[in-house]
Structure 1
Amino acid sequence: MKEYKVINPKLGFTNRIQKYEDILNQYAREGWDVKHIVPNSAMVILERDKNR
């Protein structure tokens, strides 16, 4: 079974790309995979196996 998480990170105005990368890497360390990035938005849908 899969579980999903929707995040909308607050990136601010400086170092946006680095902050976005850091956030995604932190979730990856927790076992999350990027399922979809919503166009024209910072919203990201993450997926991982529930019974890991």
Structure 2
Amino acid sequence: GARVDGVPMPAEWISWLAEYVEKHYKPEPKKKRSRPPSFKGAKRDAV
């Protein structure tokens, strides 16, 4: 994840920011990882 540093903030800003985030924040949907073609259907001999 990204590094986030804490900063002093007035109490009024904290409450406003919390409301804003609650109203507008939507996490990105998880994406299914696609494998490179070299991994798809690879045939390997059992040793």
User: Is TM more than 0.5 here?
Assistant: no
TM-score (norm 2): 0.34
TM-score (norm 1): 0.31
The structure showing larger relative contact order (alpha-carbon pairs under 8 Å, at least 6 residues apart) is 1
Greater percentage in strand: 1
Max Rg structure: 2
